[in-house]
Amino acid sequence: MLVFSKQKLVFLSVPKTGTTAWQAALAEHASMIVSDPPELKHAPIFRYNRFFRPALEKFIGEDLHVIAVMREPIDWLGSWYRYRQRPFLSGKPVSTEDMSFDAFVRDYVAGAQPRHANVGSQSKFLEPQKNGTAATHVFRYEDQPALADYLEARLGFRVETDRLNASPREPLALSPETEAVLRRKYAPDFRLYASIGPDGSYTPEPVPSPIN
């Protein structure tokens, strides 16, 4: 997560959306960099709202812009799958070694996810809070120029990135049956991604109603 106090901008770090490269490009201009531990670096909206927003609003102001990047949901899962195939994870419970992508996604949509498939959800990461805290702009990972244009306009300088921390690209195949289950069980992710406009505008998922 990056904070730019003068520009009243907060850049959340959704895992597997290329934010490592953006952090490297923007770090020298940021007022605050949260790079560790991962639970804080990748703080979702609910954690930002609870731990960061009160302090930032007190010292920077209440009209903060909160931005994030979202990846096409199947491609996002593919990035997790490829990352967890890396040799340094071999033999560990989170490894996807010797597993097909289809099997990984079937584990992801299972009622009780095994550790290698417990990677969360982008729509849950970006879920608005009951007090109105939400991302003001969400950009598609696949449309890097749109994010760069926004950042340059907001920050006032040219932004260039190098692609960092990228997993090896391999063909990913899903059976029609597995993809259908994924799209049904994680429909909020697909709806949210489809709603994103080129200027970062989007349609947030409804705030969940309290359970009585």
Q: What are 30-66's pLDDT values in tens digits?
A: 999 998 898 999 999 999 999 999 999 999 998 999 9
Q: Which domains does the chain have, with CATH numbers?
A: 2-195 (3.40.50)
Cα separations in angstroms, 5 against 10, 61, 82, 166: 8, 9, 36, 29
Q: What is the pLDDT of residue 94?
A: 94
Distance, CA of 40 to CA of 52 (rounded, Å) = 10
Q: What is the pLDDT of residue 209?
A: 61
Residues facing residue 67 across a β-bridge: 11, 137
**Which residues of the chain are modeled with pLDDT < 50?**
164, 211-212
HSE on the CB side for 148, CA within 13 Å?
12
Q: What is the pLDDT of residue 172?
A: 87
Whether the model clears a pTM of 0.95, i.e. scores above it, the answer is no
